[in-house]
Amino acid sequence: MGRLKPQPSIKAIEEEREDFEVNSSTKAALQCMINSEIGAMLAIMRRNVRWGGRYVSGDDQLEHSLIQSLKTLRRQIFSWPQDWQSVNPVMYLQPFLDVVRSDETGAPITGAALQSIYKILTLDILNVNTVNIEGAMHLVVDAVTSCRFEITDPISEEVVLIKILQVLLACLKGKASVVLSNEHVCTIVNTCFRIVHQAGTKGELLQRIARHTMNELIRCIFSHLPDVDHTEKSLVKGGNSFKNKIPGFDSDCNIGKSTENGSGPPDCVGQLSSEVLNSSSYGLVSRPIDENNSRIENGKYMLPYDVHLMAEPHGLPCMVEIFHFLCSLLNVVEHNGTGSGANSIAFDEDIPLFALDLINTAIELGGVVIRHHPRLLSLVQDELFQNLIQFGLSMSPLILSTVCSIVLNLYQHLRTELKLQLEAFFACVILKLTQSRYDASYQQQEVAMEALVDFCRQKTFMVEMFANLDCDITCGNVFEELANLLSKSAFPVNCPLSSMHILALDGLIAVIQGMAERIGNGSVSSELNPLNLVEYTPFWMVKCENYGDFEHWVPFVRKRKYIKRRLMIGADHFNREPKKGLEFLQGTHLLPEKLDPQSVACFFRYTAGLDKNLVGDFLGNHDEFCVQVLHEFAKTFDFQDMNLDIALRLFLETFRLPGESQKIQRVLEAFSERYYEQSPQILANKDAALLLSYSLIMLNTDQHNVQVRKKMTEDDFIRNNRHINGGNDLPREFLSELYHSICKNEIKTTPEQGAVFSEMTPSRWIDLLHKSKKTSPYIVTDSKAYLDHDMFAIMSGPTIAAISVVFDHAEYEDVYQTCIDGFLAVAKISACHHLEDVLDDLVVSLCKFTTLLNPLSVEEPVLAFGDDAKARLATVTVFTIANRYGDFIRTGWRNILDCILRLHKLGLLPARVASDAADDSEMSSDPGHGKPLTNLMSSTHVQTAGTPRRSSGLMGRFSQLLSLDTEEPRSHPTEQQLAAHQRTLQTIQKCHVDSIFTESKFLQADSLLQLARALIWAGARPQNGNASPEDEDTAVFCLELLIAITLNNRDRIGLLWPGVYDHIANIVQSTIIACALVEKAVFGLLRICQRLLPYKENLADELLISLQLVLKLDARVADQYCDQITREVNRLVKANATHIRSSVGWRNIGSLLSITARHPDASESGFEALSFIMADGAHLSPANFVFCIDAAKQFAESRIGQANRSVHAVDLMAGSSASLIQWAKDAREAMAEAESEKLFQDIGDMWLRLVQALRKVCLDQREEVRNHALLSLQTCLTGMDEIHVPVGLWPQCFDMVVFSLLDDLADIAPGNAQTQKEYRNIEGTLVLSLKLLHKVFLHRLRELSESPEFCKLWRNMISRIEKFMKLKAKKTEKLQELVPELLKNTLVVMKTKGILTPTTTLGGDNVWEQTWLSVNKIFPSMQSEVFPNEDPRSNQPELTKSRTQK
């Protein structure tokens, strides 16, 4: 087991059974080739006198055996059978191999023999089907690795060594290589390495070829690792032992020999001198194995492979041995000095660099398969990684670079098995070098930073560091430290930007872009569950239920990170005051309410950042609870298979050993008890461990305290520890080892504060290996954003700051673009994870680089902007972020708006920035609409006297550049200026500023509200009236934008309206003169109402109430804009009459229309709107009836315009009665009795309001108007039978309308000349009014007679008749004739209907009595005319008596 699987090519050979069957011509070619090689060999040998003569043995002259064997082969070669595969390769290889082995041949002959062997091996003659292939290959390897020859000159020697390398490599590359045993593969590698080492004193060509060959050997061997069975059954079991030395591994010199004259010392190839390498450093399997020969490495016993396994076809055993050999090469420099003939710098770099390169090759080829082989994996986890950390601190940048490459490969393939090792590497190497804690050179820092950036470019690296280390309570915050390192390293502090800064920036942006790329892969939760602890539960060693399911491990690690953060806060409290610190932890449920020793011990053991002096004082306290904590604290350590000094070092590194002897004793007692419990191998009892531990502390103080002059010797130390092991002595070797360990390496009783890994000592490494067995499994993340929210929240602030600083210092466009990519990635992540504060910070930072917020210090800012690539890039980025991620911008809108306003002031914005979505359709459907208003509403028309008007667009600015001032002639713009303007134009086009507002309907509510508030804030001009024209222009522009987003967000008007209304109200109420701002406010308000009323009926009242602001305008301002306001109100009414249903809205509209009645310019539009509402009752409703009547009355009374309009207004009023009739009819048909009764009452009130309005118009000075009004009033009073006016309302109507009208007319009639002039033909009006009284009274006589107030009403009527009879006015003849006639007619009708009848009742409301009492005064004969059969005198006594009684 553990050997190579058959290769596909070999399988093909076996299955197809080609067996390298050559035809006769191929066989002949091979025979000729071997024959030619023999001939060449003989020719070269004959050049030497030694081989040219004959040896004499008796009478026979015999040739040398080497020549004889060659000749014998030549004779036999052409007589072999047809099938070449059946020929034993030993037959044609043996003569050449004999030459190679012979120590009598010189370098040329040996080289020729090796060349022949190489030629045979590379012709594919040999394969697995060849007869005796195993024996032949073993024979070749044995012969070549034991090659001997005489060295005649250095060049020849190098040639032979090169050919040896070629042959050995051909052995492993050929098809027959699978038959080589583990032993022979190790021998090949061992031989090649010896040549590599010897080549150090030879020529450069040999050095390069030897190293290349070694690399190719490793590549050939480890490329087969994926094909090796995943078993380890070939390992040696416990008691196996053997003493036989593996043949072929000659530790003596076995390549080369002394020169021919024998004067020089033997030149050994391959045996490194003891000053350079010890024998174990290159002997892969040269040591016999027994019970005492097993390797002890860091407390682990590793047994070599069984000799029988080494003799089997090569596979895993040789790979393990070779890999261990390569790792052991890294120990050479640590344990040995430099060799002779080589300088120390070259040696220090050469051997480890060569070994590291070979190790990297093996790992690249082995890859993930290494994890399936425990022995290989163990070498990687332990020996290799320990050496990598050691050499990572090498002064050689080349070694450091190679180490980092290896670690990156290990991360890619084996990171699940190297969790704590990776943490140690980053803490002890990368962070140490890049932060200059190691006094590293600039080259070291740069290489370390490059390595870190390479790691950051791995998409899941930072996520896995965060999940596995930062979220592990027992590990350091590697992600956080690396992120902070990258951020700080990117900052150019008081220095120009360097490659190191750019490198750190690349790493930082690689991390950010990795997060941005994961956003589209799902599992992004914007709503993270809040983390809190309800009660204490032991959490120190808790593991996740399923580390393979993200639904389990994601919440688990997030909770662990939360606990870790809280522990850090608790540690800070503890360091200030231990008691309060523990109370804080209890309050946050990180410690139980009642403290127990185990939980406190775990807090001390696993919490980073604790003050170790305070921990030591607590643990050394004599209090019973503290002693219990101390023993529980000791139980958290794993001292299994550790030496005592190593265990003691680890224990004392976690706290500061107290200075008092009693405290020291208590601490050491707890340690000794734990150590003896786990590692009792030599010690008899725990007392022995205590005494020896105390002795080690004393020895440590003695050896490393400068005040102690006489140091303790080894014998003294051994003597002091006699009879402590249960009355017996401890082994001298054991004590001696402890003594030297303490002398060489001090036990630091005052450990460093807060450092996770200050330095990787052997004891710490052993502890790391122990912890790695118990640590939680490594979490492998995929491409989804499980933890990016938490990670980004940690690094966002420093990242934005770092990118900003680099962007500020950068001078090249490629760096600009890198920073911009980083900004956009930050924006994307912030938006995705709803980190609004981060996005705001980014926007603020970016806006500073646009230069738009800087004071306009340059003469031509447009040209300066066009020439500043950084500013243009920043500007485009700001607006790109605003357009893409505006949903998540909050306070950043203010900065963005500042940039927009600066562009507006420079005239760089497109003309339609403030447009809204409906503007285009309005303009296209009605080209002439609003033209007069456009000039008034222009945001750029406000200019001070003598100030040239600023152009409103980029082309305007451009034309200014091209224009020539007559007073100060300018030269034509240069090509550079033209190019700058073109770049500016392209930049503004890329910004799509208008999209921010036209697409605002897609913004989230919070962002939209913040945008509106930013506009209000920016547009708030000074209230003291000292606003400059620029401020005025800015306020107008902001208001335009505010109106635009309001109109674009009609579905969310309720969100925006309060702020918009308050802003407009503030403008309107604070303005006393006409200006563009108040104009924009008023018409914007009307426009909002006009556009939004159809869609927001629930806000109709609120919108229409806002029109009160128009009514509150200063009189001068209102007068100037009255015409335009009325037009807008007209449009509003026509478009939305059906959508206005409440009286609140109609009241404001009616008020606005009423005001326009007396404005010469606005009355026409106002009356048009009123006619639209009232004509035919199309849009009249109970909600607007009264307001429309009042407005119509104003137009009827208005002297503006011709009288026809007043007449028309009266017609509108009279025609509205039809609506009252229709509503009454509808109420009777469709409503319940209670509801209809209420409506009838309301209709009666509206009717009364109507006739009252008409009554006022009846007093108009214009004859046609008042007469028409009288006729209309008569119609409304007599034609409302279907309304069913309540009986009690009629007396009120007569008093308020009819009688008051007659009284007013009676007062006007006898006026002076001026009055007569104003009221022409008043007599006709008097006649009409009297007729109105007569007709109305008779028409409603039945209802009136039933009223209890009828008698009073009748009495008032007679008094008005009497008054008219007594009028002293010109042209009253008709009136004098009409009055008696109408009175008589009235009395006749009353008589006919039985209302006026004789009665004997006296006093009270006697109609008969009251009638004649009044009538007889005016017309004494009237009673006899109406009642001819009644004697007027018959009632005289009664009348007289009645009068007397009154």
Neighbouring residues of 789: CB distance < 8 A, sequence distance ≥ 6: 524, 525, 528, 833, 835
Residue 606: CB partners within 8 Å, gap ≥ 6?
473, 474, 540, 636
- The full 3-state SS of 159-186, as one line of letters, equals HHHHHHHHHHHHHHHCHHHHHCEHHHHH
At 116, the amino acid letter reads S
Q: 């009236």: which residue's tokens?
A: 1025
Q: Would you report the helix, strand and coil content of the chain in percent, each value rounded to 5? A: 65, 0, 30
Q: Do strands 60-62 and 295-297 pair parallel, antiparallel, or not at all (unpaired)? A: unpaired
> Element (H or E) spanning 57, and its range?
strand 55-57
Shortest CA distance to 1064 belongs to which of 1048, 1040, 1045?
1040
Neighbours of 675 (CB within 10 A): 25
CB 475 within 8 A of CB 423: yes
Question: Cα(1316)–Cα(1301) distance, rounded to whole angstroms?
Answer: 18
Distance CA 970, CA 860 (A): 14
- The amino acid sitting at 1323 is E
Residue 755: C-alpha distances to residues 393, 399, 427, 1342 (Å)? 18, 26, 9, 111
Secondary structure element (H or E) that encloses residue 1414, with its range = helix 1407-1418
Other C-beta atoms within 10 Å of 56: how many?
A: 9
For residue 628, give the 3-state DSSP assignment. Answer: helix
Distance, in Å, from the CA atom of 236 to the CA atom of 415, rounded to the nearest integer, reads: 29
- Three-state secondary structure along 636-672? CCCCCCCCHHHHHHHHHCCCCCCCCHHHHHHHHHHHH
* Residue 1375: its H or E element: helix 1373-1392
- State both tokens at 296: 């002890």
Alpha-carbon span 567 to 1122, nearest angstrom:
71
Active site residues: 660
Q: DSSP letter at 61?
A: E
- Residue 987 CA to its chain's centroid (Å): 26
Give the C-alpha separation, 195 to 267, whole Å: 12
**What value does the CA radius of gyration of the chain take, rounded to a whole number of Å?**
56
The tokens describing 547, both together, are 């580390």
- In three-state secondary structure terms, 951 is coil
Structure tokens at 1025: 């009236």
Q: How many CB atoms lie within 10 A of CB 520?
A: 12
- How many C-beta neighbours within 10 Å does residue 969 have? 7
3-state secondary structure of 935: helix
CA–CA separation, 1093 vs 1105, rounded Å?
12
> Token match 């380890």: residue?
232
By the 8 A CB rule, do 509 and 822 touch? yes
Separation of alpha carbons 257 and 269, rounded Å: 9
Spatial CB neighbours of 679, under 8 Å, sequence gap ≥ 6 = 639, 640, 641, 642, 644, 647
